[in-house]
Amino acid sequence: MSDKVDIVALAKLARLDVSDAEVAKLEKEIPEILKFVEAIQKADISDVSETKSLRNVMRADENPIESGKYTKKLLDAAPAREGDRVAVKQVISRKK
């Protein structure tokens, strides 16, 4: 695997805006992340047993609240809303 990563091309594929400072930082970080992933892929897991099923490690909700009980109160407290939903600013820009 090459140590050279084209951050601008990756950002474009992910439809992310990346500043020059972020590109410089990511050019250093991504090769190290890829080396770590490569090391994990090479790890010997022959002695690890397979799990047959997953179990829920979350605690049971002992006092569930009636669905919709606080919806109006929460919507009234929101700084902006669209119909019955809280309106928030877009976090990820989408380039086309």
Mean residue pLDDT of the chain comes to 84
Q: Which domain does 11 fall in, by range?
A: 1-44
* Cα angle, residue 63 at apex, residues 58 and 64 outer, rounded to 5°: 80
Q: What are phi and psi of 85, to 5 degrees?
A: -130, 150
CB atoms within 10 A of CB 22: 13
Residue 18 lies in a domain: yes
DSSP string of 24-86? HHHHHHHHHHHHHHHHHHT---TTPPPPS-----SPP-SSPPPTTTTHHHHHHHSS-EETTEE
Question: Does the reported pTM lie above 0.75?
Answer: no
Has residue 11 been placed in a domain? yes
H helix or E strand, kind and range, residue 14: none
Residues 43-90 pLDDT 10s: 888 877 776 667 778 888 888 888 889 999 999 999 999 988 999 887
Q: What is the pLDDT of residues 20-51, one digit of tens each?
A: 999 999 988 988 999 999 999 998 888 777 76
The domain total for the chain is 1
- Whether 91 is in a domain gets the answer no
